[in-house]
Amino acid sequence: MSAPMSRPRIKVSRRPVRVGDDVVRVGGAVHKLAFDVADPDGWLWALVNLLDGSRTVAEVTTAVCTRFPHRPPSDVGAAIDGLRLTGHLVDADEPAPEDLTPRERERYSRSRELFLSIDTGWRTNSWAPQVTLKGSKAIVIGLGGVGSVIAAAFVASGIGHVHCVDHDVVALSDLNRQVLYTERDRWRPKDEAAVHRLRERNSDVLVTGDRRTVDGLDTITTIAKRFDLVALAADGPPEIRSWTNRACLALGIPWVWGGYHGPLMTVGAYRPGAGPCYDCAEAAERERKAAAPARTEWQPAIGEIPPHAANFATVTITGSFAAEAAVSLLIGPPRVPVNRIYQFNLVDRLERLVIGPETRHPRCSACQ
């Protein structure tokens, strides 16, 4: 029942609304978080108005049952527990978290509100997601357009240790999209410039850099084994996503990747054992292409590699989606399906695709 709470309080972001005289809309104003409950005699509306953090569960139950004598205390207890278990309540008496300093609680106050608003389960302390992030260590491979955004999001969000890997230097042509660098950083190694900028953003987390070319499965396994999550934002060599997949499967840690093809933004999010892996999808795609009619490429383009088609706005969308997925993998909510690929097409902003197989490939060489 409601024992985990001392004084239940409805989250302000989920504050209920009475619609007419016989419906209570619980869960605030966000689609898929809010829902309507029939309340013809008004007892539920009375209950939610008592859940303001000033009363114990017993006091709330007594008050409701005194006003609505036909309503058994078990109904009130079940309603409070239902609200608690679906993420609508906090405990007004929750202690300040020992793992966060007053400065950190001020810094992350908006993050706490976000986690409160998207959480669909019960947490004994509303700061728990932030404490989890503080105790997490994440690695960002590739500090270009997408990786810059991911690294900035990780550091600003308070992931306790963010490790930045890149082998390149900052070029003038990077500055149309790579958020971490300025004109002063031209020719400077990206890992060095990124670490400098990220430490300025948040000195309460550890930011480290690594000037390194990721050239194989062993390299990724070696650098990822001290971390809880990998964010891959490098687009080469071609095998790098498969290497990352295999390394994270072996280490048992989640990973995300983000990329784009002109206006098509793509993000993958994977948790080992939660479904088909990246190489399952690749195996299925190879079979699909083998069964499709033969393709003939445009001859004048053979051998030409066009430069990245991207600007600040497009890479920021991809990087933000990837970073949000990574934080979700670390803390839980929002509970989106993982082990899938998400695409967002800027040509038609209404088009959002979820692609990839729903089951493991029977001949995947990575996850069998």
Q: To the nearest whole angstrom, how small is the minimum distance from the Cβ of residue 239 to Zn ion?
A: 15
- Candidates 33, 279, 315, 356: give the one binding Zn ion (CB under 5 A): 279
Position 367 contacts Zn ion (CB under 5 A): yes
Give dist(CA 225, CA 212) in Å, integer.
16
Give the binding range for Zn ion (CB under 5 A) out of 33-41, 228-236, 261-269, 359-367.
Answer: 359-367
Position 364 contacts Zn ion (CB under 5 A): yes
Q: Which 3 state secondary structure label does DSSP give 251?
A: helix
Count of CA atoms in the C-beta half-sphere (13 A) of 289: 8
Give the binding range for Zn ion (CB under 5 A) out of 151-159, 213-221, 336-344, 356-364.
Answer: 356-364
Which residues have CB under 8 Å from 311's CB, separation 6+?
176, 177
Position 249 contacts Zn ion (CB under 5 A): no
What is the size of the binding site for Zn ion (CB under 5 A)? 6
Give dist(CA 72, CA 81) in Å, integer.
15
Residue 150 or 220: the one with the smaller Cβ distance to Zn ion is: 220
Cβ 253 vs Cβ 326: under 8 Å: no
Q: To the nearest whole angstrom, how small is the minimum distance from the Cβ of residue 277 to Zn ion?
A: 3
Residue 177 or 360: the one with the smaller Cβ distance to Zn ion is: 360
* Residue 173 DSSP one-character state: G
Q: Verify cis geometry, omega within 30 degrees of 0, for the bond prior to 97.
A: no
- Candidates 139, 277, 310, 329: give the one binding Zn ion (CB under 5 A): 277
Q: Verify cis geometry, omega within 30 degrees of 0, for the bond prior to 72.
A: no
Give the binding range for Zn ion (CB under 5 A) out of 27-35, 102-110, 207-215, 280-288.
Answer: 280-288
Residue 53 or 357: the one with the smaller Cβ distance to Zn ion is: 357
Give the binding range for Zn ion (CB under 5 A) out of 19-27, 54-62, 111-119, 279-287.
Answer: 279-287
Residue 104 or 279: the one with the smaller Cβ distance to Zn ion is: 279
Listed residue (11, 19, 21, 9) closest to 47, CA to CA: 9
Alpha carbon distances (Å) from 342 to 238, 267, 345, 355: 20, 5, 10, 6
Residue 80 or 248: the one with the smaller Cβ distance to Zn ion is: 248
Give the binding range for Zn ion (CB under 5 A) out of 118-126, 143-151, 269-277, 348-356.
Answer: 269-277
Q: To the nearest whole angstrom, how small is the minimum distance from the Cβ of residue 365 to Zn ion?
A: 8
Q: To the nearest whole angstrom, how small is the minimum distance from the Cβ of residue 273 to Zn ion?
A: 11
Alpha carbon distances (Å) from 20 to 24, 36, 90, 302: 8, 12, 27, 66
Position 366 contacts Zn ion (CB under 5 A): yes
Position 247 contacts Zn ion (CB under 5 A): no
Residue 156 or 284: the one with the smaller Cβ distance to Zn ion is: 284
Q: To the nearest whole angstrom, how small is the minimum distance from the Cβ of residue 282 to Zn ion?
A: 9
Residue 5 or 366: the one with the smaller Cβ distance to Zn ion is: 366
Cβ 137 vs Cβ 223: under 8 Å: no
| Positions of E strands within 142-224 | 161-166, 206-211
Q: What are phi and psi of 210, to 5 degrees?
A: -150, 110
Residue 16 or 276: the one with the smaller Cβ distance to Zn ion is: 276
Give dist(CA 232, CA 259) in Å, integer.
9
Residue 30 or 355: the one with the smaller Cβ distance to Zn ion is: 355
Listed residue (312, 336, 340) closest to 152, CA to CA: 312
Q: What are phi and psi of 230, to 5 degrees?
A: -115, 135
| Interface residues toward Zn ion, by CB under 5 A | 277, 279-280, 364, 366-367
